[in-house]
């Protein structure tokens, strides 16, 4: 896989649902179509809900990676 250019980053590790998705959605709205947002979040509800919710909004999940006890997801804004 080629290296993707990340346009913006957001860390929601200190947030709880539903604010994890709300903050992710608000950050995505600042991007143009095709730009990539990197989201750092925790396992559990955030990891289950954020990717599902952004896909329901029409965006594309490009990658999900575990980094210790945190996860990073790459989302392409559509």
Active site annotation includes 72:
no
Count the helices and strands in the chain (H runs, E runs): 2, 4
Under DSSP, the state recorded for 55 is H
Catalytic residue among 7, 8, 13, 17: 17
Q: Distance (Å, rounded) from C-alpha 76 to C-alpha 17?
A: 21
Active site residues: 17
């Amino acid at each position: 896989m080629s290296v993707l250019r990340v346009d913006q980053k957001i860390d929601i590790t200190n947030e709880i649902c539903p604010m994890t998705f709300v903050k992710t959605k608000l950050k995505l709205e600042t991007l143009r179509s095709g730009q990539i947002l990197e989201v750092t979040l925790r396992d559990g509800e955030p990891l289950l809900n954020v990717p599902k919710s952004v896909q329901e909004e029409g965006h594309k999940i490009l990658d999900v990676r575990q980094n210790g006890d945190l996860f990073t997801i790459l989302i392409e804004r559509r």
